């Protein structure tokens, strides 16, 4: 009986070794296939991208002008209303934010009015942009 058990254990060990060798060969083959697939994908993808770029119409706007309408969130009134921005810039050095908000309320329609907190936020952004050489204080690249 012990000889039969020993024989079975030797057979089992042999089968386990063979399974391990096959698993290693499968991993190697899988890695080679993945590498080949990635190489082919790069070549085919690169050709497709290049042909797609050639088929595009000529671009007449800058990247920032293209992305501006697609940004998330609501743009600031002072960023997209040049008349309102010019009015505020004319008052910003001599009036408080509350006084500027009151002046805007007198001169502009209710849809174009801004509050003092919006002025404060815009002014902080404007100062930051001035430090970064954006003289008009436009935070989102709007005209």
Residue 112 scores a pLDDT above 70: yes
75 vs 112, residue with greater confidence: 112
Q: How far is CA 100 from CA 11, 82, 114, 126, 137, in A?
A: 92, 16, 9, 16, 17
Residue 36 scores a pLDDT above 90: no
């Amino acid at each position: 009986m012990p000889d039969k058990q020993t024989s079975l254990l030797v057979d089992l060990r042999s089968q386990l070794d063979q399974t391990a060798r096959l698993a290693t060969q499968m991993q190697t083959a899988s890695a080679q296939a993945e590498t080949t697939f990635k190489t082919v994908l790069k070549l085919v993808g690169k050709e497709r991208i290049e042909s797609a770029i050639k088929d595009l119409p000529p671009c007449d706007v800058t990247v920032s002008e293209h992305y501006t309408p697609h940004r998330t969130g609501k743009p600031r009134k002072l960023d997209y209303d040049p008349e309102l921005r010019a009015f505020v810039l004319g008052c910003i050095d001599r009036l408080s934010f509350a006084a500027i908000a009151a002046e805007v309320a007198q001169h502009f329609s209710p849809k174009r009015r801004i509050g003092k907190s919006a002025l404060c936020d815009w002014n902080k952004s404007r100062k930051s942009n001035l430090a970064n050489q954006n003289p008009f204080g436009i935070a989102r690249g709007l005209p």
